[in-house]
Every structure is written in structure tokens, then in C-alpha cells.
Structure 1
Amino acid sequence: MSTLALHRAVLRDGTALPYAEAGYPGGTPVVMLHGYTDSWWTFEPVLRRLPTSLHGYAPTQRGHGDADKPPEGYLPEDFAADAVAFMDSVGIDRAVLVGGSSGGVQARIVAGRYPDRVAGLVLLGVPATLADKPAATGLWERVRRCEDPLDRSFAEEFASGMTEAPVGRGFLETVVEESLKAPARVWRETLRGLMETDLRATLAGILVPTLVVWGDKDPLLTREDQQTILDSVPGSRLIVYEGTGHAVYWESPERVVRDIAAFAHQVFPPRSG
């Protein structure tokens, strides 16, 4: 198991983001971007299992967890700009970007706009779009009425729906605790940004190698949705995790690590000599 180290990065605009670091310092840089209401903790099962060939970074994004919570900046393009600023802050010139759930939206924005910074893109249960999904519309109807303090039972219901098979109770409780650190306005504005942005447009112009991972029991994303990504990103490849729900990296962290490591070796081979 890899050892985690916790740090804090200060972006050029002064926003402070906590981040977890794991793996081998000489390994391929892998930057993991979490999804809606999560924090770096959502990647803890993956970070703990990183091989020496990888050097993982998982920042908590603005407004979430223990990150700074500025009054604005919660559109997908804002989170994408933060991801690039984070890489600058910690000295990463080029990395494999891994996006979990909606974190894959900002990851693909970065890949499309800054291809020189991205060796490869891994999308773990990432939507092509949300506008056509009743589950997303239903979530918005509940979130837009949220007020502080957030209802813990709602956060628990939301988190528990991310997997098909049960995950460790302690892990899930921590995920819920982390989500409750985001104030109601961040829940609202982040989801509003995802719902109102043309997410299909963020698939345009991605030319870096792309791996798409999807659980076939995902209650939100269909095979057709994932096909939209494959049709939009030249040369992209799909791996289906049978019997797995939305958060494949919670349910099957060992397999996710293996697939990321194999992909990273292909797109960012180790230097010889």
C-alpha cells in the first residue's frame, strides 16, 4: 500500500487547495480530479494502491472539503482553470489526467485546451451530457432548494447511490462528512454550472489518448451516453466494468489502478537510462 502525504497548494489567484500525494516521486504524474461535492478523499482507495510506476496527486477543488470557498468560480471552466493552476503550483509540466464523475468534465476541458499539459485522459464514469438525464434534473430540483446546514440524510442518500455493491462503511461515512463541508451555495452553483454548460461542446478538440471507464450498473449514465464520448474523441477506448455502479473507483479501486497504470505506461512510457 502506498503512503499518503497531505499538502496545501496555493494557486496564482490565492485560492488554497488541499491535496493528497502518493506513489513514487519518480513515477508518471497522475492528477486526479474529483466529482460533484467530493474532495481528494474520494480517491483514497486508489491512492493507497498506486504502484511505484505512478506518482499521484488528488487536489480538493474550490468550495469543496477543506479547500477555500470563494464567492464565485464554480463553472466547469473555472474548475478546469484551477486544475492547470494546481499543476503549475506543484511543478507538474505534463500528466495523465484522471476525472471521476463530473470531475472528468473539467479534465477534458483541460485536455482540449492545453494538450501539451496532458499525456493522456482517463474518464471514470463521466457523463457526455447531463441535460437529457432525468436523474440529474431530479437532483437539481432538490439541490436548488438546499439551505445551510445541509440535510445529512440527503447527503447520505446521494453518496450511497454512487455504487452498485456496498463499500466500506467508514469510507462512505467520510465521503458524506466531506460533502457536508461544501456549503449549500457550492452545491447549487456547481450543479447549476454542470446543468447549464453545453457539456457536449467540452468533448470537442480532444486529441490526446483517452480511456473511458464505465460501470454497466451505473444508474445515471447509459452505454449510449458513453458512446457519445467515444464518437467525439478520436481514438478513445472504452472499458466496461460489469456489475459496477457509477463510482467505479470506489467499488473496484484495484482494477482502476491497474487500468490507469497500463494506460499511463502506454502514453507516458518511463524514461530509459
Structure 2
Amino acid sequence: MPAVAVHTVPLREGPLLPYAEAGDPTGTPVVLVHGYVDSWWTFEPLLRCLPSSLHVYAPTQRGHGDAEKPPDGYLPEDFATDLVAFMDGVGIERAVLVGGSSGGVQARIVAGRYPDRVAGLVLLGTPVTLADKPAAVEMWKVVQKLEDPLDRSFADRFAKGLIAESGAGSAAGSVGRGFLETVVEESLKAPARVWRETLRGLLETDLRATLAGILVPTLALWGDQDPFVTREEQQTVLDTVLGSRLIVYEGVGHVVHWETPERVARDITEVATTTA
């Protein structure tokens, strides 16, 4: 179990971001990219499972968690620009990018535009489309009306809705109560405007287009109980990204790295060791 340290880095012409770091400084760099209203904490179980032979970074993105919260810059392209600036800021020339949920969108953008900076790409329950989904439309109706301070019960329901029913934070579930409470607390650090503008950016961006130009080894991990991302979307990844692979996690919900961090760690490690 590698030790996890938390640091901060100022981005070039950007905000100050906290990031978690673990593993061997001489190991293959792996950057974990969180999704909507998460922070680096969403990867804490995964950080504990990844081998110390890897050099793992998990930044918190602008507006989220304890990162600085500028008034704008919440489109997927903005987060992708920050991701490259983060790699520059901590001295990463080339890394395996692991995108959780919508974090895979900015990871895909970077992989397509800067293939020399990306050794491999792992997508964890990442959508290919969003704007036409009833659940996303309903979510947008709610998020448009959010005001500060955010209602904790709303954030709690949102987080629990990401997990397969058998793992939804119960005593017998696969996701611990304490961890889930931390995730909720972290999501509440994002102001209402960040919830709103980040979701607006995801809905207004052609997410399918972010698959274009990806030539690096790509692995998609998807839980078959995912209420937001469909099997058909995963097939689109396979059809669009040359040589990409899919692993289906049976009985697992949207956030595979919460419910099965050990298994996700093994799959990420396989990509990292074969692309180094």
C-alpha cells in the first residue's frame, strides 16, 4: 500500500491545483483525472491499490474540491488545457491518462491532440453522448436551480445514485460509508455555479468528437449496471478508436473505481506496464 502525499501546483496562466501523489518517482507516470464535482479524493481507494512501482498523480481540477475557483473556464476543453498545464507543472513528459466518468472526456481530448504526451488511455465509465439522455436532461433542470450553500441531501443522493444498488453504501455494500461521506463533502466544495457551468459544458460539447484522433492504446472499463453510460456507447469507442479494448465489470455501477478498486488497479497496471 503506497503512501499518499498531497501537494499543490500553480498552473501556467491558470489556477492553483492540489494533487495527490503516490508511488516510485522513477516509475511510469499515471495521471488520474476525476469527473464531475469530484476531487482527487474520488481516487483514494484506487491510490491505495495501485502498485508502488507506478508514479501516480491525481489532481483536483479547477473549481472543484480545494482547487482555486476562477469565474470561468469550465468547458471540457478548458479542463483539457489545465491537464496539459498540470503535466508541465509537475514535470511529466508522457503519462498514462486514466479518466473517471466525465474526466475521461478531457483525457480523450489530450490523447487526441497531444499523442506524444500520452502513453496510454484508460476510460472508466466515460460517456460518448450526454445531451440526449433523459437522466442528463433531468439533472440539468435541477442543477440550473442550485444555490449556495448546496443542500447536502441532494449531493448525497447524487453520489449514491452512481453506485450499483447492491453497493450503495450499505453495511454490506462494496463502498464504505466513510468514503462516500467524504466524496459528498468534497462535492459540496464546488459552488453552485461550478456544478452548473461544468454540466453546461458537458451538455453543449460534442462528446463523440472527443474520440477523434486517438491513436494511443486505449482501454475502456465499464460496469454493466451503469445508469448513465450504455453498452452501445462502449461499442462506439471500440468502433472509433483503433485497437481499443473493452472490459465489462458485471454487477458494477457507474464508478467502477469505487466499487472494485483492486480490479481497476490491476487493469490500469497492465496498461501502464505494456505501454511504458
Superposition TM-score, scaled by structure 1 size: 0.97
* Shift, 1:53, TM fit: 2.3
Map 1:121-270 → 2, pairs under 5 A: 121-164=121-164, 165=167, 166=173, 167-268=175-276
Q: Percent identity?
A: 76
Q: Distance in 1 between matches of 2:82 and 2:109?
A: 11
RMSD over aligned Cα atoms = 0.7
* Shift, 1:132, TM fit: 2.1
* Shift, 1:14, TM fit: 4.2
Q: Distance in 1 between matches of 2:57 and 2:261?
A: 16
Q: Distance in 1 between matches of 2:221 and 2:155?
A: 25
Q: Distance in 2 between matches of 1:137 and 1:210?
A: 29
Regions of 4+ moved over 2 Å: none
* Shift, 1:189, TM fit: 0.1
- Structure 2 unaligned segments of length 5 or more: list them: 168-172
Larger mean CA deviation between 51-60 and 92-101 belongs to 51-60
Verify the 8 A CA contact 1:53 1:261 in the aligned structure 2: no
Map 1:5-44 → 2, pairs under 5 A: 5-44=5-44
Corresponding letter in the other structure for 1:191:
L
Secondary structure in structure 2 of the residue aligned to 1:48: helix
Aligned partner of 1:110 in structure 2 is 110
Secondary structure in structure 2 of the residue aligned to 1:45: helix
Q: Distance in 1 between matches of 2:97 and 2:66?
A: 22
Per-residue CA deviations over 1:78-135 (Å, capped at 9, x if unaligned) read: 0000000000000000000000000000000000000000000000000011022111
Superposition TM-score, scaled by structure 2 size: 0.96
Verify the 8 A CA contact 1:217 1:245 in the aligned structure 2: yes
Secondary structure in structure 1 of the residue aligned to 2:110: helix
* Shift, 1:73, TM fit: 0.2
Q: Distance in 1 between matches of 2:252 and 2:48?
A: 20
Q: Distance in 2 between matches of 1:92 and 1:67?
A: 20
